[in-house]
A and B are shown apart, each in its own frame.
Chain A
Amino acid sequence: MSQNRLYLKYYKSYRDKIYNYFLYRVAFNQMIAEDLCSEVFLRAFDKFDDFDKERSFQSWIYAIAHNSLCNYYRGANREVNLEEAEHYSLENFNSISNSIESQKIIEKIKKLDGYSREVLLLRFVDELSNSEIANLLGKNEGAIRTQISRALNILKSEITDNYNI
């Protein structure tokens, strides 16, 4: 299979996942998520000749997406205004999901600390394995497992508290 055809195959498999990855991290702003998604796939194509086919494409493309996101936030005037983010999230969330339970759980995830939130999103939204998350975040697998467990406990207790109230 030629390089181009192989890349197109990967593109079809991962375009929605990458889009989703950005969507959850730019406060559900679809326009920004689309732009970032495009940028990732175009950059990845340029580097595809250097990509080691023995490695997982998923880890590679998520690493590129992670870098793109970092660059996006590092850019001037990209500090996310919390109120604005809230607004985006609620507005767009309504269009994406009609599940009240999902809306609530997203609200809870948003309130978690950055590290816990990132680990949970990677694990349950992006559906990466523990080892892939560890690779992406530069941690060891055990630490990731612990962090997920801790974040889930916090989330659980938050939800239980809500019900109790």
Chain B
Amino acid sequence: MKDIFEQLNQLPKGKLRLKPEMRLRFLLYRKMIVKDFSKFKILFVSHSVMRAAIVMVLILPIVVAVPGYAYASKGVVEGHLLYPVKKAVENIELSLATTEEKKSETLDKLAQRRFAEAEVISEDLINNDKKEDVLVKTIQAGVALNIQSNILKKVTEEENDKKVKAEDPKAKLLENVALNVGIKRQEKVVDTVAWALENIKNNKYKNKIKKNSFEDMASTTKEEVRLETEEMTTSTQEVMFENNKNTNNGNNKVLEKNNPSTTNSRFEILKQEVKDLKNYLQSEGFVEEEVDELSEKLNNKIKNSENAQSKNNQKEVEDILESAETLKNNAKFFMKKTDKNNGQGNGNSNNNSETSKEKSNNGKAKGKNK
């Protein structure tokens, strides 16, 4: 008999068969892979909130950057791909303004933005004449917003005057637009810029507008305000002229205008004023060619209004005379000075705008006295 120890040590030993061994090995490898990837499990989380958070983090830069760029960039003007985004952001901004004062501030800011866009468009105008319509539309929208802002603010005459004296940045932008546009541009464009300048710089029409017409508009939804602001731009001018005619606020000039019997004398006064302006601009050293162009444009307007007068179309006469006077008052902003008179060359007429304006006003006063 073998030794008991030997017998026990020789007891048979089982061995794991190949198939279960492979299965176990596979399960182990799978566990190992899962374990290694669990270090990056934040990327494979099934929790919906976490997944949403990750997606948000990835999308956020796009969501913020695109509207941010659209809103902040002056270069995003009408016709640009991102312009609707810019408008949407502006609408949100407007809707966030709860009080009338805030709303007025926002509208003022938006008006300024429109004029800044107009400045960008006007710089491009030399290369692309097709942008003239866009420029007109943008300026009109800016003026409409400015009017709404003033109505909500309930500005008084005194405040208006103060504001004008304090150099409204919007006026500065429009002066640049006028200089970029130049006097030789299409009549429609020149007239619109002159009208906007008159509106912003002199606040000529602001307090003469029937308040309700714009208050109603301001109380509608932002989208409608925006649409109306743009649509009404053409009618704004009419509304304003209409109100000019109808307002009985003691302004002798308006009364004078409304009286058909005095229209002929208005033609004469205007003609004289155009002559005075031409002389003044020439003496100030503005480019001769441009002064002639201005003079021709103004004389054409007077001629057209005389024709309308002969047809007894009083409304047209008034419109043309208004636009002529507006252009006359703001003519200097469209013109460039010659180099010999101004060493710094083009675009510096604004430096002398205050003094030239005063002189221009003196010229006008003289004309009226005559």
Which A residues form the contact surface with B (CB < 8 A)?
Answer: 4, 7-8, 11, 15-16, 19-20, 23, 28, 30, 33-34, 37-38, 41-42, 45-46, 93, 96-97, 99, 101-102, 105-106, 120, 124-125, 152, 155-156, 159, 163
Q: Which residue of A lies closest to B4 (CB)?
A: A156
Q: Considering only CB atoms and an 8 Å cut-off, how many residues of chain B contact the other chain?
A: 26
Pairwise interchain contact B1-A38, C-beta atoms closer than 8 A: no
Residue in contact with B7 in the complex, picked from A28, A102, A163, CB distance below 8 Å: A102
The distance in angstroms between the C-alpha atoms of A99 and B9, with both chains bound, is 13
Q: Sorted from nearest, which 5 A-B pairs have the closest CB atoms?
A: A97-B12, A124-B8, A34-B20, A23-B14, A19-B16
B28 touches which of A11, A28, A99, A152 (Cβ 8 Å): A11
The answer to whether B165 has its CB under 8 Å from any CB of chain A is no
Q: Measured between alpha carbons, how far is A106 from B1 in the docked complex, in Å?
A: 16
Q: A16-B16, A34-B17, A125-B13 are in contact. Are A105 and B8 (CB under 8 A)?
A: yes
B4, A159: Cβ atoms under 8 Å? yes
Judge if B155 is at the interface, Cβ distance under 8 Å. no
User: Residue on A with the closest CB to B9?
Assistant: A124
**CB-defined contacts of B9 to chain A, threshold 8 Å:** 124
**CB-defined contacts of B24 to chain A, threshold 8 Å:** 15, 37-38, 41-42
Contacts A101-B2, A155-B4: A45 and B28 contacting too (C-beta < 8 A)?
A: yes
Do B16 and A37 touch (CB < 8 A)?
yes
Find residues 149-167 in chain B having any chain A CB closer than 8 Å to their own CB: none
Bound: A4/B34 CA distance, A: 12
A96→B10 CA distance, assembly (Å)? 12
Cα A36 to Cα B7 with chains together (Å): 27
A23 to B11, CA, bound (A): 12
The interface centre, meaning the residue of A4, A46, A156 with most chain B CB atoms within 10 A of its CB, is A4
B6 to A: closest C-beta gap in Å: 10
Question: Nearest Cβ distance between residue A113 and chain B, in whole angstroms?
Answer: 17
Indicate whether B64 reaches chain A with its CB closer than 8 angstroms. Answer: no
CA distance in complex: A34, B15 (Å):
10
Is A42 in contact with B27, judged by CB distance below 8 angstroms? yes
Question: Is B80 interfacial (CB 8 A cutoff)?
Answer: no
Residues of A within 8 A of B21 (CB): 15
| Smallest beta-carbon distance A33→chain B, Å | 7
Give CA–CA (A102, B25) in the complex, Å.
32
Is B11's CB under 8 angstroms from A102's CB?
A: yes
Check B14–A4 contact: CB distance below 8 A.
no
B12 touches A8 (CB 8 A): no
* B28-A8 in contact (CB<8A): yes
21 of the cross-chain contacts (CB-CB < 8 Å) are A8-B28, A15-B16, A16-B13, A19-B16, A20-B13, A34-B17, A37-B20, A37-B24, A38-B24, A38-B27, A42-B28, A45-B32, A46-B31, A96-B14, A102-B7, A102-B10, A102-B12, A106-B11, A120-B8, A152-B5, A159-B1
B23 at the A/B interface (Cβ < 8 Å)? yes
CA distance in complex: A42, B26 (Å)? 11
From B11, B15, B23, B25, contact of A16 by CB (8 A): B15
Residues of the B chain whose Cβ atoms lie less than 8 Å from the Cβ of A46? 31
Is the CB–CB distance between A163 and B4 below 8 Å? Answer: no
Tell me the bound Cα distance from A152 to B21 in angstroms.
Answer: 34
Q: Kindly provide the distance from the CB of B34 to the nearest chain A CB, expressed in whole angstroms.
A: 11
- Give the residues in chain B near A124, CB-CB below 8 Å: 5, 8-9, 11
Chain B hits for A45, CB < 8 A: 28, 31-32
- A8→B23 CA distance, assembly (Å): 14
How far is it, in angstroms, between the C-alpha of A93 and the C-alpha of B70 when the chains are bound? 84
- Complex Cα distance, B14 from A105, in Å, reads 16
Chain B residues with CB under 8 Å of A28's CB are 14
Q: Complex: how many Å from CA A19 to CA B36?
A: 28
The answer for the CA separation of A152 and B9 in the assembled complex, in Å, is: 13
* Closest Cβ neighbor of B24 among chain A residues: A38
Residue of B nearest to A92 (CB): B14
Given A8-B28, A42-B31, A105–B17 Cβ distance below 8 Å? no
- A159 CB contacts on chain B under 8 angstroms: 1, 4
Which of chain B's residues has its CB closest to A126's CB?
B13
Is there an interface contact between B8 and A38, defined as CB atoms closer than 8 Å?
no
**Nearest Cβ on chain A to B164's Cβ, whole angstroms:** 78
Query: Which A-chain residue is minimally distant from B12 (CB atoms)?
Result: A97
Q: Which residues of B contact A42 (CB under 8 A)?
A: 24, 27-28, 31
Nearest CB on B from A45, distance (A) = 6
| Neighbouring A residues of B7 by C-beta, 8 Å | 101-102, 105
Min CB–CB distance B3 → chain A (angstroms): 10
A99 proximity list for chain B (CB < 8 A): 10, 12
Which of chain A's residues has its CB closest to B33's CB? Answer: A4
Determine the chain B residues whose CB is within 8 A of the CB of A156 once the complex forms: 4
